[in-house]
Structure 1
Amino acid sequence: MSDVDHSLRETLNSGASRILNAAEITRRLEEEARATGAPPPERLLFRHRALNRVVFVKRPKEYAPPPSSPLTTSAEILENGQLRTITLDSRVRVEKGDIATVVYVPYDADSIGDGGASFELGGRSRFQALLDATGFDARADSDAVRRDLRLLDLIEDLPSLDPFLLKDRVALEDMAVPEAYFSISETEFQDIKRYILNKFRPITERVVDPSAPNAAQTSEQFIMKLWEARDLDYLKPITDAFRVDPRQAGEIYYSWKGVTYYEFQYKRSQRTLLGFADWLHGKATPTDYVKPDLRQALAESARDVAGALARHLQNSSEILRLYNQGYEELFVRGGDARPFIDFLRDSSTLFWDIAASISALNHGVSVWEQRTRNAEGRRMTAETLKPLLDILGRVIV
């Protein structure tokens, strides 16, 4: 891909969780320093200065299936001595390898949307691409290079560039990064953290004796170890209790945390999503007179966007239903642990799949709110409605 696609240029400043516009944040920090007469900031996102002038973008790869897309397969079974072909319905979920991290390097840092070079961060030739586009030599032997490579790997390993996920992973890696790059307040971060820790809390009843000395302190320590998902020896009691593969325990516990985070996001965004859906079904029509053919085309575009929105909403709610059925059966009703164990085993895939859907919803809502903010009743003329529907069709994927 030699240039950034049209939808990215139009959504660079939408605030979508698929985009980390490091170039814009860096420019703003430098302008603030100049305005106060201070020297340029020494501490930015990366140690290599040119890496701070790029945009990171998460997007589904071209071959990736839609989130939780249906798959029909066939199999042969032996029945009464005869082979019979049966049809099996299953689900294909978005997995880690289905989401690309694109690095966009603008030709002009002061005009980010006017074109640039781009490449996939996870591509085979990424080291050469980084060197050619930014001058970053990933093969150099220095602490600064190793630190920047670790941060690039961290960005690649996340399913979205959501500020909470990014800030959390950077904190766990003990990396010093200016808060400006996260676009999330400490209050909001702590609200999310509190929600997730409360979901973790019942698990301590399975590993901590409430009558033991310092039981409350031990429980809190266990919860924080689960939050960090790094001290796997300490977490061995629940790894054994839930029959988690020790080799995958860290990824599974982090994925559980990630799904819980997206549950928080999904609940918080319900009203906005419903408003967006209502707009698509009733207000995504031109306010001015247009020819019947164009009116029909706009109606079809709105239906297509509404269909994509519904698919992501359904996928998100289905994953959260699976999660909460297992969670409540075990931790609320004290019943069968198997549904929750099944969730944990699939949590890595479910994390990436729900991230794909929530990110698509977030991207669509961000663009919609940005484009209709100043329109009375969010109603638009055909001239402004058509490009909005076009871009919504490209980002809600």
Structure 2
Amino acid sequence: MNLYDVHRRHCAVPAFEKAPLFKNRVLNRAIILKHKLRGNELEMFDSHVGSATKVLLPIDAADLRAGAHFFFVGQKDFEAVTEEAFGADLRPGARDRNVLDQIDQLPSLDPFLLREYLRRSGIEPAREYFNISDADVLNMQKFVQMDIQALSTLSGGDQPGMPSGRLVDKLLSPRPEVDFGPLREVLRLEDKQFLDGIFAWRGFLYYKWVLSDVMPRVDQTIKSMVSVTPRGVRDAESAAYIPLARARIVAAVRERIRAVQATLSTYDRAFHALTDDGKPGTFRDFLIESPHLFMSLGQRLGALQHIVSFWSYRFPRSKPVAVGYVDLMDILMDFEDGIALEGLEDDAPMMQRAVG
């Protein structure tokens, strides 16, 4: 999330100036990203974490080659570092600290989910921060409409046969606790459970849409990665590493996809239990467990998106792939680090509870 670029492009828009993401002007020009920690960065944290939210403060925002200061959310000296840089603006309880904490809790900076997550906490920055095109919004609405069409009669209460388009509007509305009142009564959920579950439900639908979009590009990326022949000087280390790494990455990507599909199928089974089998308890169990499943789902899809987006950026399809042995080894090492399969089995107990 390049906030400086967002500011540069939209600073003249009155609505944008009135609804900043961060009140602190320096922080509102930062670059924020989800970062896979390297070996030397792990020691910056008291506990073991695989990835963290990284905040970059460019020395010269107009020329990023000049470098940047940075900090990780949750690093050992986080309070001291942010106190020095931002004073009271990032102290616990401050408005900007709340926004940063909300961003840190999400598995990715997907604009759909970030906007909905912040809105759920009463934080509504200008739309320009989220860079969601009208085409993306329309495509997601169409996908969701098809996916939840079967739920119309139940969630509509005394409005059987409600058009699925209206149901989509209800699901994606900022007040689901009002719009889905009949469903909440059927499921007998407390306020927080219901709101957390509805948000995760939105997340599952969003990630189903993301998976349908990313899958064709995964296949293209894997095919290109496997077939590329490095150029230049061939050193023994990279020549030995590259073929083995490619095989490991392909296997890991396939396993990651299977894990994502297995998690998404948990939603499908719970949804069909509600709509086809008349078992609201199964969908209730899913909504209770879904926030935890949603976070791991986002991490796994994020790793796939990283591989696809970086490869397509580094090697556009319109140009032949040209890369040296050492550069290719570095790229594959980064992919291996991000696609690591540790913890893939951890969701099994939650998935079992989610479908009874």
Correspondence for 1:177: 126
Contact 1:229 1:250 in 2 (8 A): no
Q: Percent identity?
A: 24
Q: In 1, Cα distance between the equivalents of 2:170 and 2:98?
A: 22
CA distance 1:135–1:294, change in 2 (3 Å)? same
Helix, strand or coil: the match of 2:144?
Answer: helix
| Match of residue 83, structure 2, among 127, 131, 152 | 131
More helix by proportion, 1 or 2? Answer: 2
Aligned equivalent of 2:310: 367
**1:291–1:55: structure 2 CA closer, same or farther, 3 Å change rule?**
closer
Shift of 1:189: 1.8
Specify the alignment match of 2:62 in structure 1: 110
Q: 2:267 corresponds to which letter in structure 1?
A: Y
1:311 aligns with 2:259: no
Aligned residue in 1 for 2:116: 168
**Where does the alignment leave 5 or more consecutive residues of structure 1 unmatched?**
1-19, 64-96
Contact in 2 for aligned 1:104/1:119 (Cα 8 Å): yes
- Aligned match of 1:380 in 323, 333, 345? 323
Q: Is residue 50–residue 135 contact of structure 1 (8 Å, CA) maintained in 2?
A: no
Match of 1:77 in 2: none
Question: Could you tell me whether the CA contact under 8 Å between 2:201 and 2:290 is conserved in 1?
Answer: yes
Q: What residue in structure 2 maps to residue 73 of structure 1?
A: none
Deviations 1:161-217 (A, max 9, x none): 0122223345564624251x32321221232134235434433422435667xx749
Q: Is the 8 A contact 2:3 2:29 kept in 1?
A: yes
Q: Distance in 1 between matches of 2:278 and 2:157?
A: 19
Q: Distance in 2 between matches of 1:237 and 1:310?
A: 40
Structure 1's 385 and 126: CA in aligned 2 closer, same or farther, altered over 3 A?
Answer: closer
Alpha carbons 1:286, 1:295 under 8 Å: kept: no
- Kept in 2, the 8 Å contact 1:329–1:335? The answer is yes
Residue 38 of structure 2 corresponds to residue 22 of structure 1: no
1:52 aligns with 2:8: no
- Equivalences, count: 328
Q: Is 1:263 equivalent to 2:239 in the alignment?
A: no
Pick aligned residue for 1:242 from 187, 191, 195: 187
Matches of 1:370 and 1:240, distance apart in 2: 48
- Higher RCO, 1 or 2 (CA under 8 Å, sep at least 6)? 1
What letter is aligned with 1:130?
T
Q: Which residue of 2 aligns with 1:357?
A: 300
Structure with the higher strand share, 1 or 2: 1
Q: What is the Cα deviation at residue 28 of structure 1?
A: 5.1
Q: Alignment partner of 1:119: what SS?
A: strand
Q: Which residue of structure 2 lines up, in the alignment, with residue 251 of structure 1? A: 196
2:150 is matched with which residue? 202
8 Å Cα contact 2:144-2:168 kept in structure 1: no
Aligned-pair CA distance for 1:277: 1.9
Which among 114, 129, 151 is matched to residue 99 of structure 2?
Answer: 151
Distance 1:216 1:29 in 2: 39
- Structure 2 CA distance for partners of 1:24 and 1:335, relative to 1, 3 Å: same
Please report how far the alpha carbon of residue 221 of structure 1 lies from its aligned counterpart in structure 2 after TM superposition: 6.7
Given the superposition, is the C-alpha separation of residues 384 and 125 from structure 1 closer, same or farther in structure 2, using an over 3 Å criterion?
Answer: closer
Deviations for 1:97-155, whole angstroms, at most 9, x for unmatched residues? 976322222333234355433333346864543332345634599xxx63x34432432
Q: Give the partner amino acid of 2:6.
A: I
Question: 1:71 — aligned with what?
Answer: none
Q: CA offsets per residue over residues 22-50 of structure 1, 9 Å max, x none?
A: 234335557xx7xxxx99x8455433210
Q: CA RMSD in A?
A: 3.7
- Aligned match of 1:94: none
- TM-score normalized by the length of structure 2: 0.75
Change in CA separation of 1:224 and 1:128 when aligned onto 2, cut-off 3 Å: farther
Q: With the length of structure 1 as denominator, give the TM-score of the two structures.
A: 0.68
2:332 is matched with: 389
Map Cα deviations across residues 3-35 of structure 1 (whole Å, 9 max, x no partner): xxxxxxxxxxxxxxxxx12234335557xx7xx
Counterpart code for 1:56: I
Q: 1:140 to 1:305 in 2, by over 3 A?
A: closer
